[in-house]
Structure 1
């Protein structure tokens, strides 16, 4: 083959390898939660009679109309955003106490900003405050299809129709109808703030300035791209731990919003992940035991660094001839009197650094205390079991005991009272069997047999010679 062809071929191969490397590196460094490109924001405006109360030099409704109109006008430049307007308490008088007083004034559409501003000016406060019912109806306002659905509630009072806005909001969040709502309270009584915080992210707007800030914060959180890295810290608080499954769990609905396996590149840098900033998260490093940072709020529009202390070592539990146990062997791993994991025999498993109690479920079980150190493996090795062959001439009742080094005994198990011969896999040690034939006329006919089990060997015990 001519040299020039070989050179061209090698150049192409090198180029392909380089492109694959770059592509792989890009994939490794950009992990993205599946976020729809389109965002839909529904403004849910309180039009109840209390919105006529003075707020500075104007009424609460006038302030809300003015700021909301300016906001809607400023959002015309975003082609991936659709808006809608629903109001409540504005169609019937307060005396009517109409708890279905809510209406979608302007539905979602492109370039409907002028229509929303026009309808805002026509809303006149009149009636009551059916927040729960309005939220239920709002679920039907969002068109089918993939989009990030946001609700911004602007109100000056609590539910007045015996509904449960918090329960409705939670149910709709769990169904994925919309993300965590934003609730902007205008001059809300401090005693009522708790009722709003369970409904959504609550902003207490005490005056015009804080109302404007709250609106801007809600829009910023809804629209700006937000990224994060998760640093898994070792015992020296260095971000060297990796290959751990990490979950971002919606701390309101308890449904996992995003899962990935943590990765460090060749320079020791973790992935950058793109996340939904509207949701509060429980960030879970699925170590054993898990490490959780609860109700974590991402700062929208910026890069967030989330640190979790996850120093790990490992425990290896091994035993020759473990298959002699017909049902296999497992170990119970506990920390602070709490069972945290079940580990199979002849396996190695990572754990957070610290002290653990281990009970290996051989017959009889064996208990150990282990201190896991950073990046170290603690080894537990059990001797191979022996085989106990029990011969019996007649059915009866009996138990197997282990004799400890100090002469004390410990019950292990009851024997099968119907089998004439049974074989049991059992750990090396000193034992005894206490047995009485079922048809024997008294306890004086009990027989006691002492014996020793040796590693990997068979021992025969005849209950009646």
Structure 2
């Protein structure tokens, strides 16, 4: 007995030590702050708890071990706890009550709730059935909605499986998808096959009495503490050499943004350590061009996790030969043979892209289209266009006009002239052009004016429409 008490004290101090160890991320601009954790213990008080465990009746042993464990939570900061029981209000005969569940102690500070929970556990008597699905559904309303940023966790302690035809797996998934709780924990007492509960959350089979408190300590430690990871952004050779990309971790179940990090190489030249909650499954989005997505990422508690993602990148450099006459010239970048715009890149800038083939549309007059642009690993692909020229157009009065490019004995429309402006300056790529114009006051087509002109790189020309 003395050895057991000593072991229990050591576990308590270990747990408290883990909780208060500060997380120092030297390469991060801020330190990680521990959020408020709310744990709802769900205790099975169904009739089957009258069965025997190793040294006696399961209910008596579970009550004693659980009550002793609760004392270790009294002085833990950033923690709130509560208690829901099921199978303790209505007898299993003559008819089982599949809604036999009740929130016995509302979630609150451990210093207040622990005595209340111990008193409740001490007085309840096993009576009824095991409505796990219905109980989990009710748990969704037990967590306070006070606007605080919290981690809501359910720890189910049971000696059986669903007995009322409900679907605890679907209920658990719904709670996670709605962002009400993180993935629950299940402590299965005795030698029952609990594999049907794996879909609820992380299942621990407590086959021996001596392991009950140890497993509870492990579970609470996981519930209270985040763990570390690093993201390896792999280049084309499979080396973790890519960096300087924003990473967003979404909760895979409900799509909520959990973390944003700028990928960083530390002083040793390896990906820096980040902190993640091990209770969630994640979708990672790398904000590269285009985005790279890795789904269903699971984190192993108490271990430094490596997340590897293929993200080989190269560079696209857009330049104008000579002097740039454009106030702001942009280029639409698309994946090869796709119309979706990935990026609007300014000329004079260099942008990073995932290795591959791209099509571009340069927003000059006239438009310049290029396809099969190859971006290679750590290579810079240079796209250079001719220096533009300028045409100054003078009109006798307001009127309707259009600008065309002469191309292979065809007129290709470029733009419409601004009817209300008597003078226009237009920057054009080198080529042969025509303007077709008619004044607003003219009511006969014979007054159509046509002017031909040529634009050369860096040149300027005046066109009079009278």
TM-score by shorter chain over 0.5: yes
Note the alpha carbon deviations across 1:231-252, whole angstroms, 9 max, x for none. Answer: 1111111111122222222223
Q: Answer yes or no: is the 8 Å Cα contact 1:30–1:273 preserved in 2.
A: no
Distance 2:64 2:291 in 1: 47
What secondary structure, in the 3-state scheme, does the structure 2 residue paired with 1:34 have?
coil
2:360 to 337, 343, 358: 358
Measure how far apart 1:302 and its partner are. 0.8
What's the Cα RMSD here? 4.4
Match in the other structure for 2:329: 329
1:236 alignment partner, SS class = coil
2:230 maps to 229
> For the residues of structure 2 that align with 1:120 and 1:57, how far apart are their CA atoms?
18
Q: 2:294 aligned with 1:293, yes or no?
A: yes
Q: Equivalent residue for 2:405?
A: 402
Q: Give the distance between the partners of 1:70 and 1:248, measured in 2 at CA.
A: 38
Q: Deviations over 1:204-237 (max 9, x none)?
A: 799979x989989855642565211111111111
- The alignment's TM-score, normalised by the length of structure 1, stands at 0.73
Matches within 5 A, 1:23-422: 27-28=26-27, 33-36=32-35, 39-45=37-43, 52=47, 70=65, 73=68, 77=72, 80=76, 83-88=81-86, 90-91=88-89, 102-105=102-105, 107-108=107-108, 109-110=110-111, 116=117, 119-120=120-121, 122-126=124-128, 130-131=134-135, 134-140=138-144, 148-153=151-156, 156=162, 169-173=176-180, 178-182=181-185, 201-202=200-201, 219=220, 221-223=222-224, 226-319=227-320, 324-326=325-327, 328-336=328-336, 337=338, 338-369=340-371, 370-404=373-407, 406-422=408-424
Q: Where does structure 2 lack aligned partners over 5 or more consecutive residues?
A: 1-23
Task: Flag the 1:168–1:249 CA change in 2: closer, same or farther, 3 A.
Answer: closer
Q: Which has the higher helix share?
A: 1
- Give the superposition deviation at 1:203: 5.3
Greater shift, 246-255 or 315-324, is seen at 315-324
Deviation at 1:340, TM superposition (A): 1.3
Determine if contact 1:227/1:303 at 8 Å carries over to the other structure.
yes
TM-score, normalisation: structure 2: 0.72
Gapped runs of 5+ residues in structure 1? 1-24
Residues 263-309 of structure 1 show CA distances to partners (whole Å, capped at 9, x for unaligned) of: 22343222122321112112222211122211201011111111111
- The alignment partner of 2:233 has SS state of strand
Cα separation, 2, equivalents of 1:98 and 1:57: 24
